[in-house]
Structure 1
């Protein structure tokens, strides 16, 4: 997610440069035809165009509000994952002990540490599998279809796009667990939670986890599965296609007809100035090109912001930075159990969290 106070003009110009050229050409066509070739019949009345623009503004605003709601819900879900991950690691650090261990099942402090370490690293494997699932490509996701969006993605190097999932999971799972998880045809993250629950049950049977502590840990696993399901709901259910498609069509219809209404209005203003300012009045019609371009740019940019925000896990600069969040969780949970192998946070590139 972008962490600047605001986008710079340079960023916005680069991001929309191709569309801006199209808007300039669309604005120039009626102006040239009207002024140089005298084709005044091409002008359209301003009132219906203004009505269309008003309707488009409502549609764009509705969509952007709905898209922001999806983004904010996704951020709250991953905020819950952060909180429950910290709680889980603290519980593991304090509840895996010899206090209630059965006779002959006691472990040394080093062995207890390895048990705790295995549990929290498996938790990171769950988080890794979840973020890879969230970054997977869905047929309706269109962020990467646009060349300037791909430029952004290549600059910030989203880890899930650069590192194979198996290689990422191998840092946290044993070879046998990794093989089992990768052979699962279904939900890898849910399968890792199953491994986690099985491990906790074995520790409970040995008395290394008190029964009530076991229930508390299982309850956290249930909460994590609930948060996973909420995250998957946003990922797997797109913003309704009928609204998204019609929004694009309506915006482009307005952008195409806009110059044909602006040009005659500027021609009238120019004619009214001929008496007092003949030079300005004679060329005033040409100011319709930058004006139409500006209005078109505003409407299209707002529509495009809605498009890139529809799916908050795609990997755009405005998405939920699940890679950065996962690395922050990893640092926290490993610290809670005393693991010395603390990774560094992901580097912020182009002022974007990944």
Structure 2
């Protein structure tokens, strides 16, 4: 936290240091703001920051619940596919290898859907600026989606025809679910999937569409800018006006101390610097925490780790297909303690 806010903290020290120097060397003790308006402004800013943080936490928590739903639905889809794709009701003889192939295609296509969805969530919106802050760029860590292209990733899970079909659509994840539904229907027509099993699988496709729409809603609708912008301006108004009330107060206290302790009374005004810095740091950090959490899929260290979640589901699904662990990709590593 100290490293994350060190540039702002330095600016607070410079601001209050300049004000204290002006008051100390130019003896401007008459230039002050009463505490009453400062208390009113401070109270208003605290309420607005609290409102923002509550709303932002709600967005983050909703995003985490949505991706928790994707985890559960994905596991259910994996086990349903393995148990419902059989030759029990097949109209023609189907080999065991063919059944396994169909199961693998459906499972891999689902992994492709998660991959396309997480890439869509990482696409930058014009209001997503937190990731550009120097404290978020200086470490050089980036989410996996910025280290490879979507096409490169989808090649691992889709056939050439499916890949071409998906990339020709604007919404790749929706196109994959359409392919999934069409495939399931064809298997039903062949009797490889029983009719009641078909309905269960289609219900899961519907649930995946619902979860996709929910996560897209959070991505595509930002925290209302009128609240976010005004909150930022109000906070800085408070921090810029506060020295004109705080420094004279310390000057008055210093004069009282000077009666018995002249040296301490003379330098007491400089104690304003740590006090103001602490107050400014608290207000600014709380406001910045709110701004950082506005977009839970932007790709910063405080976001919902959708890449890690997706890779975890992939590992589960492929292990339960019976694949060799050496052929299954490992979990994305945490860089500097950050999971994406």
Query: Which residue number corresponds to residue 193 of structure 2?
Result: 209
- What CA deviation, in whole Å up to 9, does each residue of 1:277-336 have, x standing for no partner? 322221010010111111111111111110010011001111110000000110111223
Give how far 1:140 is off.
Answer: 1.1
Aligned partner of 1:318 among 297, 302, 319: 302
Residue correspondence of structure 1 range 222-301 to structure 2 within 5 A: 222-301=206-285
- TM-score, normalization by structure 2: 0.97
Using the TM superposition, give the Cα deviation of residue 88 of structure 1 relative to its aligned residue in structure 2, in angstroms: 0.2
Aligned equivalents of 2:335, 2:19: Cα separation in 1: 43
Provide the secondary structure at the position in 1 that maps to 2:242: helix
**Is 1:41 the counterpart of 2:30 in the alignment?**
yes
Deviation at 1:107, TM superposition (A): 2.5
Q: What's the TM-score, normalizing by structure 1?
A: 0.93
Equivalent residue, structure 1, for 2:106: 119
Whole-Å Cα distance in 2 between the matches of residues 275 and 144 of structure 1?
53
- Structure 2 residue runs of 5 or longer lacking an equivalent are none
**What SS does the corresponding residue of 1:14 show, helix, strand or coil?**
coil
Matched, 1:140 2:124: no
- 1:218 is matched with which residue? 202
Shift of 1:166: 0.8
State yes or no: 1:352 paired with 2:338: yes
Q: Which runs of 4+ in 1 moved over 6 A?
A: none
Measured in 2, the distance between the counterparts of 1:51 and 1:228 equals 44
Q: Deviations over 1:224-251 (max 9, x none)?
A: 0000000001011111110011001000
Partner Cα separation in structure 1 for residue 204 and residue 323 of structure 2: 21
**2:149 is equivalent to residue 161 of structure 1:** no
**1:181-220 equivalences in 2 (<5 Å):** 181-184=166-169, 186-220=170-204
Unaligned runs of 5+ in 1: 1-11
**1:25: which partner in 2?**
14
Post-superposition offset of 1:42: 2.7
Q: CA RMSD in A?
A: 1.2
User: For 1:350, what is the secondary structure of its paired residue?
Assistant: coil
**CA deviation profile, 1:74-131 (whole Å, cap 9, x unmatched):** 000000000000000000011111111112xx32222211111110100011111111
Which residue in the other structure is 2:58 paired with?
69
Deviation at 1:337, TM superposition (A): 2.6
